[in-house]
């Protein structure tokens, strides 16, 4: 008898050839097939008379062929077949491009249902390449149609028929993983009903009921699985830290930490003094002071004799951390080293020796910290900065340099808390939601190309007053080609040098440069030796330049809100009034709405919530999707209430039966283990 892991080749009606095509969509097993959910739906249940068709809308119409089809070739050798259809209310002209077979298929006097986009005008309606079938067939019309993501060789009809075969084959195989009491308490339908109606809904209500059930189940399984991952961490002991008072650390700082910084540091210290390894995400806006939280954790670990490693995504950022933290650690008698790809061989040997002997307390670096020859005497704390730049596996690799070290992840991508708990499900979350005193609010303007002369005059004025300017360009290139960022940025910088600001010092930075080149350009800019830095988003995570007070973003509509917010965070770091100018000539309402959000708030958490509403969670998940089972049906931009319900239900169930050992939870436990099997190792 088949089970849900059965290869789809063996499902009746699919076979070898079709299975190969479906494999391109990641559909290999019966479970894959029934879990390949539609992207959207088209309501083809209602037919309208021809005279009531609205130009520009998609609609179904029942009409009779009024005359035999005609065919002729047009430019480019394409064949066009034309036919006229009628009903009691009017005439519909239909054209088929490159569908010559329609000539022999359509005959005078036969009635069809046509579905397509209405074109033409009020007097004469038209359709081009509509979907059609004989009246009464109801395979392609007369119902709510699922629309699936496709690939070459797989049409909607092929996929829809395959899913139908799959559902028929597993009618007896679908086990309800949701406990009965959870299903009843949350008024959810049975699993068979849900799968049938997510693919072939009887109507809009059935679709809503099915979708709600499947979204809840997906988020419930995720929440239970994450709870089990967390509880597994309790089985191992972390590096033991004494619960020392943080007052001596606070006393040596040249400024007072904000309440949010103190809370984050005290949470982390409590974790480190606990009986299991810390695994904490500290997230906050650019400039909110996450580095000081990291410094406090390093000091705290050192009080119990533990070494720390801090990994940054770029050499520039690693050096910035080193230059900022080294003098502070020196006050406490802690030795700090910088290890990057460009560290000279002799110096590298000395650092490796110091780490192995314990003479070095803190090592700051890039992914160079991951190489095999880097060994520590007593590594107790691992900190990764800008987590989304590292895969879970890299974080894990650094963690393997010691036995279950404490882990702290710093992220300057503010994410709504509930979403953070899903994306960083294996981590506890600290949020720094206040900026230190003295941080500038950046005035932000969204303007069109017509403002260009005024902007250029404004930039010249800022440079004349002794300030510096960032200009960020998006990658340009068509969808079919890899954008050449080097060419785009270099060409634009050249234009600025020769035509717009020939008297100013203009530097260029892009991702194709070698690390040393990038370093040199940024260091020169930071030293005030260039006036304008033209860059791609490589500058998003970069060196601190307090003298830069203006950020211009070209074609701002091409960036996500969270990314624009990150870019804006490059300025406002000094005492001068700071500005961010978002240039876009895109007139779409969505673009205007998105850019308006940037002009209204400097709060990264509010911005991320808007980004989530407008763009969905793709950006956030794109950074770390390989770390957790992917979401197939839930959409966190609009399913947040269900997420809360599912998390509460999972919490209650896991508190009552942490190992899911009760007989009624066997199916649930098995499904969670299947889902997390590929991911648990990287997350643990």
Strand ranges, E, within 142-272: 144-147
Which of 123, 142, 161 terminates a domain? The answer is: 142
Q: Domain range for residue 347?
A: 247-432
Q: Is residue 95 part of a domain?
A: yes
Q: Is residue 378 part of a domain?
A: yes
Name which residue leads in pLDDT, 428 or 648: 648
Please tell me whether residues 97 and 39 are part of one structural domain: no
pLDDT digits (tens, 9 = 90+) for 60-72: 898 898 888 888 8
The answer to whether residues 246 and 269 touch, using CB atoms and an 8 Å cutoff, is yes
Q: How confident is the model at residue 483 (pLDDT cuts 50, 70, 90)?
A: very low
Please tell me whether residues 339 and 262 are part of one structural domain: yes
In the predicted model, is pLDDT for residue 325 greater than 60? yes
3-state secondary structure of 438: coil
Q: Is residue 628 part of a domain?
A: no
Q: Residue 151: its pLDDT value, please? A: 77
Mean pLDDT score, 305-329: 88
Please tell me whether residues 30 and 116 are part of one structural domain: no
Give the integer Cα–Cα distance in Å for 448 and 266: 46
**CA–CA distances in Å: residue 388 to residues 93, 227, 235, 391, 683:** 54, 22, 27, 7, 14
Name which residue leads in pLDDT, 677 or 555: 555
Q: Residue 390: its pLDDT value, please? A: 44
pLDDT digits (tens, 9 = 90+) for 586-613: 877 778 888 888 898 887 777 777 776 6
Give the integer Cα–Cα distance in Å for 381 and 363: 11
Give the integer Cα–Cα distance in Å for 421 and 640: 12
Residues in CB range of 409: below 8 A, 6 or more apart: 280, 281, 282, 383, 384, 387, 395, 424, 427
Q: Residue 624: its pLDDT value, please? A: 40
Which of 601, 619, 650 terminates a domain? The answer is: 601
Q: Is residue 546 part of a domain?
A: yes
CATH code (residue 112): 2.40.50.140
Ranges of H-type helices in 35-110: 102-105
CA angle (13, 14, 17) in 5-degree steps:
135
Mean pLDDT score, 29-44: 85
Q: Is residue 18 part of a domain?
A: yes
Q: Residue 635: its pLDDT value, please? A: 65
Q: Residue 263: its pLDDT value, please? A: 93
Structure tokens at 585: 């000539």
In the predicted model, is pLDDT for residue 352 greater than 80? yes
In the predicted model, is pLDDT for residue 638 greater than 80? no
Please tell me whether residues 39 and 55 are part of one structural domain: no
Please tell me whether residues 446 and 351 are part of one structural domain: no
Give the integer Cα–Cα distance in Å for 434 and 214: 38
Please tell me whether residues 480 and 581 are part of one structural domain: yes
In the predicted model, is pLDDT for residue 493 greater than 50? yes
The answer to whether residues 34 and 170 touch, using CB atoms and an 8 Å cutoff, is yes
In the predicted model, is pLDDT for residue 616 greater than 60? no
Q: Residue 604: its pLDDT value, please? A: 78
CATH code (residue 6): 1.10.150
Please tell me whether residues 252 and 372 are part of one structural domain: yes
Q: Is residue 264 part of a domain?
A: yes
Q: What percent of the chain is predicted at pLDDT more than 90?
A: 24
Least confident of 246-250, 428-432, 452-456: 428-432
Q: Residue 602: its pLDDT value, please? A: 81
Q: Residue 306: its pLDDT value, please? A: 93
Q: How confident is the model at residue 480 (pLDDT cuts 50, 70, 90)?
A: very low
Q: How confident is the model at residue 618 (pLDDT cuts 50, 70, 90)?
A: very low
Q: How confident is the model at residue 505 (pLDDT cuts 50, 70, 90)?
A: very high
CATH code (residue 566): 3.40.50.300
If one counts every other C-beta atom within 10 angstroms of the C-beta of residue 365, the result is 25
Q: Residue 628: its pLDDT value, please? A: 55
Name which residue leads in pLDDT, 557 or 287: 557
Please tell me whether residues 336 and 368 are part of one structural domain: yes
- Give a three-class secondary structure readout of 521-582: HHHHHHCCCCCEEEECHHHHCCCCCCCEEEEEECCHHHCCHHHHHHHHCCCCCCCCCEEEEE
Please tell me whether residues 5 and 117 are part of one structural domain: no
Give the integer Cα–Cα distance in Å for 49 and 295: 72
Q: Residue 388: its pLDDT value, please? A: 47
Give the integer Cα–Cα distance in Å for 304 and 360: 15
Q: How confident is the model at residue 399 (pLDDT cuts 50, 70, 90)?
A: low
Please tell me whether residues 473 and 372 are part of one structural domain: no
Name which residue leads in pLDDT, 295 or 281: 295
Please tell me whether residues 381 and 478 are part of one structural domain: no
Q: Is residue 681 part of a domain?
A: no
Of the candidates 311, 231, 233, 223, the residue with the CA atom closest to the CA atom of residue 278: 233
The answer to whether residues 267 and 300 touch, using CB atoms and an 8 Å cutoff, is no
Q: Residue 265: its pLDDT value, please? A: 94
What are the b/e assignments for 619-643, b being 16+ CB within 10 Å?
A: bbbebbeebbbebebbebbebbebb
Q: Residue 465: its pLDDT value, please? A: 93
pLDDT digits (tens, 9 = 90+) for 104-123: 888 888 889 899 889 888 78
Say what the pTM is. 0.62
In the predicted model, is pLDDT for residue 545 greater than 90? no
Q: Residue 284: its pLDDT value, please? A: 79
In the predicted model, is pLDDT for residue 421 greater than 70? no
Mean pLDDT score, 182-186: 91
Please tell me whether residues 402 and 301 are part of one structural domain: yes
Q: Residue 2: its pLDDT value, please? A: 57
Q: Is residue 449 part of a domain?
A: yes
**CA–CA distances in Å: residue 332 to residues 252, 335, 380:** 9, 9, 18
If one counts every other C-beta atom within 10 angstroms of the C-beta of residue 678, the result is 10
Ranges of H-type helices in 106-199: 156-169, 180-185, 191-199
Average pLDDT of every residue of the chain: 82
Residues in CB range of 153: below 8 A, 6 or more apart: 21, 24
- Give a three-class secondary structure readout of 375-415: CCCCEEEEEEECHHHCCHHHHHHHHCCCCCCEEEEEECCCC
In the predicted model, is pLDDT for residue 475 greater than 80? no
3-state secondary structure of 85: strand
The tally of domains found in the chain comes to 4
Torsion angle (degrees, nearest 10) of CA 602, 608, 614, 618: 150
């Amino acid at each position: 008898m088949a089970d849900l892991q059965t290869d789809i080749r063996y499902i009746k009606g699919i076979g070898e050839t079709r299975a190969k095509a479906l494999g391109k969509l990641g559909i290999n097993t019966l479970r894959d097939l029934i879990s390949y959910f539609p992207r959207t739906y088209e309501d083809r249940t209602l037919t309208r008379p021809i005279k009531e068709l609205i130009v520009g809308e998609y609609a179904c119409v029942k009409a009779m062929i009024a005359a035999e089809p005609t065919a002729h070739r047009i430019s480019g050798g394409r064949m066009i077949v034309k036919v006229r259809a009628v009903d009691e209310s009017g005439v519909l002209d239909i054209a088929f491009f490159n569908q010559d077979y329609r000539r022999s298929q359509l005959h005078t006097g036969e009635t069809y249902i046509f579905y397509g986009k209405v074109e033409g005008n009020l007097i004469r309606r038209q359709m081009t390449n509509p979907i059609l079938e004989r009246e009464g067939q109801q395979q392609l019309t007369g119902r709510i149609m699922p629309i699936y993501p496709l690939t070459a060789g797989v049409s909607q009809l092929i996929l829809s028929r395959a899913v139908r075969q799959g559902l028929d084959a597993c009618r007896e195989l679908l086990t309800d993983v949701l406990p009965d009491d959870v299903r009843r308490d949350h008024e959810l339908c049975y699993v068979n009903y849900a799968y049938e109606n997510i693919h072939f809904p009887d109507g809009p209500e059935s679709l809503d009921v099915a979708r709600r059930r499947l979204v809840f189940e997906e988020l419930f399984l995720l929440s239970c699985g994450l709870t089990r991952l967390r509880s597994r961490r309790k089985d191992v002991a972390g590096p033991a830290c004494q619960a020392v008072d943080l007052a001596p650390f606070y006393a040596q700082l040249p400024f007072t930490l904000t309440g949010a910084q103190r809370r984050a540091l005290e949470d982390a210290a409590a974790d480190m003094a606990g009986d299991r390894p810390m695994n904490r995400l500290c997230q906050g806006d650019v400039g909110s002071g996450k580095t000081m939280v990291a410094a406090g954790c390093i000091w705290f670990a050192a009080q119990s004799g533990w070494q720390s490693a801090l990994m940054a995504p770029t050499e520039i950022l690693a050096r910035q951390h080193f230059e900022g933290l080294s003098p502070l650690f020196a006050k406490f008698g802690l030795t700090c080293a910088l290890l990057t790809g460009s560290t000279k061989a002799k110096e590298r040997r000395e650092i490796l020796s110091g780490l192995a002997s314990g003479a070095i307390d803190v090592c700051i670096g890039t992914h160079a910290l991951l190489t095999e020859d880097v060994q520590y005497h007593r590594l107790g704390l691992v900190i990764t900065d800008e987590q989304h730049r590292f895969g879970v596996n890299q974080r894990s690799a650094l963690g393997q340099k010691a036995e279950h070290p404490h882990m702290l992840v710093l992220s300057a991508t503010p994410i709504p808390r509930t979403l953070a708990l899903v994306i960083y499900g294996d981590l506890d979350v600290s949020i720094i939601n206040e900026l230190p005193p003295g941080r500038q609010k950046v005035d932000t303007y969204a303007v069109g190309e017509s403002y260009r002369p005024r902007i250029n005059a404004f930039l010249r004025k800022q440079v004349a007053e002794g300030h510096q300017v960032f200009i960020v360009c998006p990658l340009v290139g068509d969808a079919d080609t890899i954008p050449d960022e080097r060419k785009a940025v270099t060409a634009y910088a050249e234009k600025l040098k020769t035509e717009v600001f020939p008297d100013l010092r203009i530097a260029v930075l892009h991702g194709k440069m070698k690390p040393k080149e990038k370093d040199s350009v940024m260091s020169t800019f930071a030293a005030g030796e260039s006036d304008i830095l033209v860059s791609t988003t490589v500058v998003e995570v970069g060196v601190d330049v307090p003298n830069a007070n203006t950020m211009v973003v070209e074609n701002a509509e091409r960036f996500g809100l969270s990314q624009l917010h990150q870019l804006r965070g490059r300025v406002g770091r000094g005492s001068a009034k700071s500005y961010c100018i978002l240039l876009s000539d895109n007139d779409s309402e969505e673009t205007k709405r998105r850019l308006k959000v940037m002009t209204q708030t400097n709060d990264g958490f509010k911005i991320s919530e808007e980004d989530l509403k407008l763009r969905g969670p793709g950006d956030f998940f794109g950074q770390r999707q390989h770390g957790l089972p992917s979401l197939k049906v839930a959409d966190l931009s609009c399913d947040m209430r269900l997420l809360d319900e599912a998390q509460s239900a999972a919490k209650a169930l896991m508190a009552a039966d942490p190992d899911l050992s009760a007989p009624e939870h066997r199916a649930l436990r098995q499904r969670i283990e299947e889902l997390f099997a590929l991911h648990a190792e990287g997350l643990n």
